[in-house]
Each structure stands twice: as structure tokens, then as C-alpha cells.
Amino acid sequence: VSFPTIEFAAFFVVVFTLSWALMPHPRAWRPFILVASYVFYGWVDWRWVLLLIASSLVNTVAAQVIARTPSQQTRKRALIAAIAFDLGLLCVFKYLGFFVTEMDDALSSVGLGSPLPLVQIVLPIGISFFTFQAITYVVDVYRGDTRAASLGDVAILQAFFPHLVAGPIVRANELLPQLRTPRDPREVLAGPGLFLIAGGLVKKTVVADELARNVVDPVFNDPGAHSGLEVMLAIYGFAAQIYCDFSGYTDMAIGLALLLGFVLPQNFNRPYLAVSLQDFWRRWHMTLSRWLRDYLYIPLGGNRKGRRRTYANLMLTMLLGGLWHGAAWTFLIWGGIHGAALSAERWARERWQGFRMPTWAAWLITFHVVCLAWVFFRSPDLSTAFGMLGQVFAGGPSPLVTFPMVFLTLAAIAVQAVPTRFWERGEAWLVTRPVAAQGVALGLLIVAADAAVGQEGVAPFIYFQF
């Protein structure tokens, strides 16, 4: 179930009420929230729930073995087995089709016929998120960063519905302690919770879907038919769209969790204000970037094994980060651009240590490198991506460049410069209003958001496909 739907609204009212009613009774609350999360996940296809249960079961057993056995070799084997299982799930559901197709192409090109059947595998929604979360848990237990938990706790950690489908990717030591202590129903962080939900809804419906429908999709569908101005607006528009789409979803996820009494980690921190690629990755999809740093880049050696190895590690981490999004050359190039830019940035910093670029120039370069990478990320294939770039200087009429679309694009980027304290003041003001006033305001905002998307309804969130 997607958040901005009638089904989810009804589901959440029931879950919110029962969750707070059962909160003082952990033995009842835990199975309740687990079943609720499974209902949420299995709404479209209940078989996916079995996959989730299998993942929780395998990772719980592995973590228990790691925690209980004194033998380092057994601990290591259990860790490897769990990671192999988790990555195996990803490989089968996400990469097998791509691998078979590429293999088939390669074999055909050398005249070896077509021995492999091409099969279409249904990608369980959120699989990339819950498998990464599972890896985090077993590795943290192995490292001693978190205690091994019961099957019930691990299952809730993985399946807790606000973060299940598209993150944030939560670490065990961020959520498990909260699950073990009943939340206080007298002090629900409603200010930020309601604000995040309302803000996320507006980002998705008013900005992301509007930009997608009116500029981004038409231009990326047929770059050759559009002027350079339209292509540029589509590129900047997609930067705004994907930010509002993805951060809108995680804002809602964090807001819903807050209303249930749980704090999830922040996932975005005004990413388009970044003045370097390193800065960007500290602000964009923060829970994925810290995952890549802590579970890939640092284990690969990070920056501890010399300059060349550091660049290689950066590149490998970002390439795998690209592949995490999907098995396609476009994602690989997206990761490659980020890896190369991060390496180049590091090299330049070491080469010209005393030099400080003006902030505006650093921002401009960073933003455009990010936008260049987005062209590959958004394009369905490489020819479209190069078609977009080749069309940037083309002339011709630009009927898609309209004031509302330019305004939405600029607003989505510029609003990130609004200081955090401004939003916090708004949250504090909101919670002091009468309940009826808050409810009416939120209700009218929902009506406006629905009017913005029109009869076609809210488009699926971009990150649902990952």
C-alpha cells in the first residue's frame, strides 16, 4: 500500500489507535505491529511476506550463532552465510534477469546460440531496502555494535511498515532500543510528525508529479523532438522531481513513525545546497550513503591503503551504489560519474591544498555534476541519455518551458535554503492550535494535494522500483 491512498489512510487510523492502546502491553503490541506491517506489505501480494519472514528467520539464526559461539571461525561462517543469503535474494530477484539477458547477448554475438531461457521475475517491492537492513543487523552483531535480538524483534526491525518499502535504512541500534521501551502516549512528537507528512504530500503531489507529467517525462521520452531549453528544464526538473519524490516519501515515513512514537534516522538534509560531492553524499539518501561507507567503503580499506587504492575504493563503492538501484548500464554510469567526481575532488584537494574555490562556484559545479549524473539515472537507456546531452544546445520553440514549471523547479531547489529553525517554529505553532483547527487545515491540504494530481491519481514513487 502506498502512503497517499484511501486504503492506507484507513489502515493508519486503525493501526495508530490500536498501537497506542496496546503500547503499555509489549507482549500484545509486538505481534500486533508485526502483523500490521505484514498486512501493509502483503496487501498487493501476500507471497512477498513469506520472503520477508524467511529473511528475518535466516538473519536471526545467523546473528544468534554469531553472538553465542566463542569460535571466531564459526562466527565468520555464520556471517558469510547470512550475507550470502541476503545478497542471493537480491541477485535472484533483481539481477538474474539482467545477467541472463546480457549473457544471452554475449553468447549470441559469438554464435553460441541461445541456451538460456529469458524469464521475467517479479521484483518484490522494497527488497533492496530490507536486505540491506538485514546485512546491517548481522554485521553489527558480528562487530559487537549491537546485541543479537529475538526473532520477533528482528522481524519488527525489518518489517516496521513506515520504513519497509523505501527506507530510511535503519540500523538495529537505532530502532531496537525504541522497540524495547514502550513509548509515552502523552508525548507524541506531533509537530514534526504532521509537518513531515503534510510536507511530503505536497512535495510529491504538487511538485514531483507535476514536473514529471508536464516536462520531465515528455522530454526524456523523445529528446530529439525538444529544444535545448526544454531539455535543460527537464534535467533541472528531474533533479527537483526526484528530490521531492524520494524525500517526500521518506518525510512521510519518518512522520508516520513519529506519530507512532518512533524516531527514524534522517534521510535528506537539503542536498542541493551541497558545495562538494562529498558534501552531497552527506546530505542525499543519507542512510544509504552511510551504509555504503560503513559496510563497503571502509571494509574495502577506505582511505587507509594509499591514494590509488582510495580512488579505486571510492569508484567501486559508487559503482555498486549505482547497481543497488538496478541492473542497468545507466545506473552503473550514474555511480561511475559520482565515483569519478568524488575521486577527482579528493585529488584536487590534495593537489592544491591552499586553494579555496568561491562557495558559489563550488555549489554550481557540484549541482551540475549531480544533474549530469541524473540524466543517466532517469534515462531508460544510454541512447536516450546521450540524446538528452546532445540536444542541450539545440534551438527551436519551447512550449514546455512555462512559468509554473520553471517556478516549481526553482522553488523545489530554493526552498532547501530556508533555515531549519523556520520549519521548527511552524511545527511549534501548529501543535498549539486547537485540535479542530489542525484537523481542518490538514484535511484541506489533502484535498488540495488530490486536486493537484487530478483524476490520474498519485504516480508511484520512483524508489518503489528499487
Partner 1 sequence: MPPRFRKDLAMPAGRVLGVIVIALLVATLFNSEAIVRAGESMERGPTRDVVLSIARPLDDVAGAVGLHLPREGLDLAFGQEDKTAEGTELEEGSTAILRPNRRKRDQQSFVQPTPDDPVEVFVTGDSQAEFIGQLLTDALPDDLFDVEIAARNSTGLTNPEFFNWEINAQQEIAAREPDAVIMVIGGNDGFNVLVGDQLYGWQDPEWLTEYARRAAVVMRALGAGERPVYWVPPPTARDEEQNGIYEAQNRAVEDAAAAVPGARYVDIFNTINDGEYSDELTIDGDRVLARQPDGIHFTREGAEVPVRLILRAMARDYEPLRGAAP
Contacts with partner 1 in 418-447 (CB under 8 A)? 420, 424, 427-428, 431-432, 435-436, 438-444, 446-447
The Cβ-side half-sphere exposure at 123, using a 13 Å CA radius, reads 22
Q: Does 101 bind partner 1 (CB under 8 A)?
A: yes
Is 272:260 a contact under the CB 8 Å cutoff? no
Q: What residues from 7 to 26 belong to the interface with partner 1 (CB under 8 A)?
A: 7, 9, 12-13, 16-17, 20
Question: In angstroms, what is the minimal distance from the CB of 106 to partner 1?
Answer: 12
Question: CA torsion sign, 397 to 401 to 402 to 403?
Answer: negative
Q: What residues from 444 to 463 belong to the interface with partner 1 (CB under 8 A)?
A: 444, 446-448, 450-452, 454-457
Q: What residues from 37 to 96 belong to the interface with partner 1 (CB under 8 A)?
A: none
Q: Does 104 bind partner 1 (CB under 8 A)?
A: yes
> Which three cell numbers, joined as nine digits, stand for 409?
523547479
Nearer to partner 1, 372 or 452 (CB): 452
Question: In angstroms, what is the minimal distance from the CB of 203 to partner 1?
Answer: 16
Question: In angstroms, what is the minimal distance from the CB of 292 to partner 1?
Answer: 19
Q: What residues from 110 to 129 belong to the interface with partner 1 (CB under 8 A)?
A: 114, 117-123
Indicate if 368 belongs to the active site.
no
Q: What character string, x for contact with partner 1 (CB under 8 A) and - otherwise, covers 126-165?
A: ----------------------------------------
Q: Which DSSP state fits 328?
A: S
Q: Which DSSP state fits 298?
A: T
Nearer to partner 1, 110 or 447 (CB): 447
Q: Does 28 bind partner 1 (CB under 8 A)?
A: no
Judged on CB neighbours under 10 Å (0-12, 13-18, 19+), 24 is exposed
Q: How many residues bind partner 1 (CB under 8 A)?
A: 73
Is 37:165 a contact under the CB 8 Å cutoff? no
Q: Which residue among 163, 226, 285, 325 is the active-site one?
A: 325
Judged on CB neighbours under 10 Å (0-12, 13-18, 19+), 78 is buried
Q: How far apart are CA 132 and CA 92, in angstroms?
A: 15
Is 245:238 a contact under the CB 8 Å cutoff? no
Neighbours of 188 (CB within 10 A): 17
Q: What residues from 174 to 203 belong to the interface with partner 1 (CB under 8 A)?
A: 185-194, 196
Distance between first and last Cα of the chain = 16
Nearer to partner 1, 415 or 431 (CB): 431
Q: Which stretch binds partner 1 (CB under 8 A): 102-110, 140-148, 272-280, 389-397?
A: 102-110
Instruction: Residue 387: name the closest of 161, 223, 193 by CA.
Output: 223
Is 408:241 a contact under the CB 8 Å cutoff? no
Nearer to partner 1, 81 or 100 (CB): 100
In Å, how far from its chain's centre is CA 284? 9
Q: What character string, x for contact with partner 1 (CB under 8 A) and - otherwise, covers 255-294?
A: ---xx-x-x-xx--x-------------------------
**Enzyme catalytic residues:** 325
